C-alpha cells in the first residue's frame, strides 16, 4: 500500500465549519417556528424569543472538556498532533502523565501505569494518586500554574525515594486562545539517596576512627606535660601507647587512600603477569615476627613452581597481608594458620585459601564483613590495631582482578577466606 508523504490537502478551517453548522440550525429553527406561528400554535413574541435563544446557542463553538482533546478530534492534522503527543509520552524513559487543565489524565506511559496502577485515562489523577505530597503539589500546580516539585517515599512494593515534577504546559487553542495541561514526571531518586547516605556515613565513620587515636594522643601529651613530667617510667609507657596510636592513624589513612585508589581504577583490569607463589612467600616472610609474637605457625601448602595470574603485585600483597594478618590476630588461639594455593576444576580458577582455627565468625556477621568499618567486635579490632577497612579493601581489589572472595566460618571452629582468581589466558601462563 502506497503512503502519500506529500503535503496534505488544506483542511476546512474550524471556524468555517462552525459557521456552516450554526446557519443550518438557525435555518431549521426559523422554518419550524414560522410554521408553528402560522398554525397559531405559538405566539409571535414567544417564537421570536425562542428563535434568538436557539441562534445564540448554535453560535457557541463546540468545545470538548479540554483543549487538547478538542484538537485531537478536529481534523486529520489535529488527530496527528494527539497521536504524536501520546507517542512522545509513551517514549519518555520515566513514568510520565499528561493531565488536562483540571487534572484529568489525557495520556500516560507504561511506566506511569506500573507506578500508579489506579491512574486511568479521562479520570482525575487526584483520585488515583493517594500520597498527600503528590496531591498537594498537583493542587498547587493547577491553582498557580507554576512548576512544582516534591520528593516523597514510596513504601510499596519496596521503599523508594521518588521525585515528582509537575510542569504546566500552555497549549494554544482555536481563535488564538490558550489552555493549560500539566506534565507529571516521576524520577526514582533511591540510588542517588543511597550513594549520598553512604558518603555521609563514610565521612562520619572515618572522622570518628581518626578522632579516637587523636584524642588518646592529646590526652597523653597533656599528661606528659603535666603530672607525669618527671615520671620516667610513666613517660616510657605513655610514649609506647602514643606510638601505637600514631601507627593506627597512619594505617587508617593508608587504608583510606588505598581504597580510594582501587575504587578509581575499579573498571580497569590489571594485565601484568604476576606470580602468586612469590607474592604469598613475600607476605608470609613479612609476617613472621607477628606470627612468632602470637605463637601461631603458618602452614604453607602451595607448589614450588610459579603460578601466574594477571594482576597488580602491590594490590595483591595488600590482599594477602590483610587476610593472613587477620588470621594471626583474630585466630591466634587456634595456634595455626594454613595458606593454600590450588587450582579449581569447575570453574577453572586459581584459589588461595587462608584458614585459621580460632573462634570463627558468627553467621549473622558474615554478609556484612566486607562493609567499610564493619567489625564483629570493635574493641577487639582496635586493640589489634585494626581499622575495619581491611576486608573492604580486599573485596575491591579482588573484584578489580575479576575474582571473588568467599568467606566461610563455623562459629567456634575458625574461619576460611578464599580468594578465587580467573586463570591467565595467555599460553605462556601457568
Interface residue list for ligand ADP (CB under 6 A): 322, 326-327, 330-331, 356, 358, 361, 369, 375-377, 381, 386-392, 415
Residues 6+ apart with CB under 8 A from 333: 357, 358, 359
CB 239 → ligand ADP: shortest distance, Å? 24
The three cell numbers locating residue 168: 504546566
CB 322 → ligand ADP: shortest distance, Å? 5
CB 380 → ligand ADP: shortest distance, Å? 6
Q: What is the DSSP letter of 156?
A: S
CA distance 309 to 318: 16
Label the pairing between strands 148-154 and 96-99.
unpaired
CB 298 → ligand ADP: shortest distance, Å? 13
Nearest of 252, 210, 236, 242 to residue 385 by alpha carbon: 252
User: Which residues, listed in sequence order, are joined to residue 355 by a DSSP beta bridge?
Assistant: 338, 416
Indicate the residue among 386 and 403 with the shorter CB distance to ligand ADP. 386
Indicate the residue among 163 and 254 with the shorter CB distance to ligand ADP. 254
Residues 6+ apart with CB under 8 A from 240: none
Nearest of 273, 282, 313 to residue 300 by alpha carbon: 282
Q: List strand residue ranges (DSSP E) for 269-383, in order.
A: 273-275, 297-301, 308-310, 336-344, 349-356
Indicate the residue among 38 and 378 with the shorter CB distance to ligand ADP. 378
Distances (CA, A) of 306 to 33, 274, 279, 284, 402: 111, 9, 10, 16, 20
The three cell numbers locating residue 319: 590482599
CB 336 → ligand ADP: shortest distance, Å? 12
Secondary structure element (H or E) that encloses residue 290, with its range: helix 288-294
CB atoms within 10 A of CB 23: 13
The three cell numbers locating residue 369: 564483613
Indicate the residue among 107 and 248 with the shorter CB distance to ligand ADP. 248
Q: What is the DSSP letter of 124?
A: B
CB 403 → ligand ADP: shortest distance, Å? 17
The three cell numbers locating residue 26: 438557525
Indicate the residue among 282 and 376 with the shorter CB distance to ligand ADP. 376
CB 386 → ligand ADP: shortest distance, Å? 3
| Chain centre to alpha carbon of residue 380 | 34
CB 266 → ligand ADP: shortest distance, Å? 18
Indicate the residue among 182 and 330 with the shorter CB distance to ligand ADP. 330
First CA to last CA across the chain, in angstroms? 65
Indicate the residue among 125 and 415 with the shorter CB distance to ligand ADP. 415
CB 289 → ligand ADP: shortest distance, Å? 18
Indicate the residue among 105 and 353 with the shorter CB distance to ligand ADP. 353
Indicate the residue among 323 and 420 with the shorter CB distance to ligand ADP. 323
Amino acid at each position: 500500500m502506497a503512503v502519500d508523504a506529500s503535503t496534505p490537502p488544506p483542511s476546512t478551517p474550524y471556524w468555517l465549519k462552525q459557521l456552516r453548522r450554526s446557519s443550518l440550525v438557525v435555518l431549521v429553527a426559523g422554518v419550524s417556528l414560522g410554521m408553528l406561528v402560522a398554525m397559531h400554535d405559538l405566539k409571535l413574541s414567544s417564537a421570536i424569543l425562542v428563535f434568538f435563544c436557539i441562534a445564540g446557542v448554535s453560535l457557541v463553538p463546540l468545545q470538548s472538556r479540554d483543549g487538547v482533546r478538542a484538537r485531537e478530534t478536529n481534523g486529520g492534522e489535529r488527530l496527528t498532533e494527539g497521536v504524536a503527543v501520546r507517542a512522545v509520552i509513551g517514549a519518555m524513559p520515566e513514568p510520565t502523565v499528561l493531565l488536562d487543565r483540571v487534572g484529568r489524565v489525557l495520556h500516560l506511559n507504561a511506566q506511569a501505569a506500573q507506578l500508579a496502577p489506579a491512574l486511568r485515562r479521562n479520570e482525575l489523577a487526584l483520585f488515583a494518586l493517594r500520597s498527600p505530597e503528590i496531591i498537594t503539589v498537583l493542587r498547587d500546580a493547577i491553582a498557580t500554574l507554576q512548576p512544582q516539585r516534591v520528593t516523597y517515599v514510596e513504601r510499596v512494593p519496596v521503599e523508594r525515594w521518588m521525585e515528582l515534577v509537575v510542569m504546566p504546559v500552555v497549549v494554544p487553542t482555536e481563535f488564538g486562545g490558550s489552555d493549560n495541561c500539566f506534565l507529571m514526571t516521576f524520577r526514582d531518586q533511591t540510588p542517588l539517596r543511597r550513594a549520598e547516605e553512604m558518603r555521609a556515613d563514610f565521612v562520619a565513620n572515618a572522622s570518628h576512627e581518626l578522632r579516637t587515636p587523636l584524642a588518646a594522643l592529646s590526652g597523653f601529651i597533656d599528661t606528659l606535660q603535666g603530672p607525669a613530667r618527671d615520671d620516667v617510667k610513666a613517660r616510657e609507657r605513655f610514649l609506647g601507647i602514643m606510638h601505637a596510636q600514631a601507627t593506627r592513624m597512619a594505617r587508617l589513612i593508608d587504608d583510606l587512600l588505598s581504597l580510594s585508589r582501587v575504587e578509581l581504577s575499579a573498571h580497569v583490569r590489571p594485565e601484568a603477569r604476576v606470580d602468586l607463589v612469590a607474592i604469598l612467600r613475600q607476605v608470609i616472610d613479612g609476617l613472621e615476627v607477628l606470627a612468632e609474637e602470637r605463637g601461631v605457625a603458618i602452614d604453607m601448602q602451595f607448589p614450588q613452581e610459579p603460578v601466574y595470574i594477571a594482576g597488580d603485585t602491590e594490590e595483591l600483597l595488600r590482599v594477602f597481608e590483610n587476610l593472613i594478618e587477620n588470621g594471626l590476630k583474630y585466630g591466634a588461639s587456634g595456634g595455626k594458620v594454613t595458606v593454600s594455593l590450588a587450582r579449581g576444576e569447575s570453574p577453572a580458577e586459581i584459589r588461595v585459601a587462608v584458614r585459621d582455627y580460632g573462634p570463627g565468625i558468627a553467621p549473622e556477621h558474615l554478609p556484612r564483613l566486607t562493609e567499610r568499618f564493619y567489625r564483629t567486635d570493635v574493641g577487639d579490632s582496635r586493640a589489634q590495631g585494626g581499622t575495619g577497612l581491611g576486608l573492604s579493601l580486599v573485596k575491591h581489589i579482588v573484584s578489580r582482578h575479576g575474582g571473588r572472595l568467599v568467606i566461610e566460618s563455623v562459629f567456634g571452629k575458625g574461619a576460611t577466606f578464599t580468594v578465587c582468581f580467573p586463570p591467565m589466558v595467555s599460553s605462556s601462563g601457568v
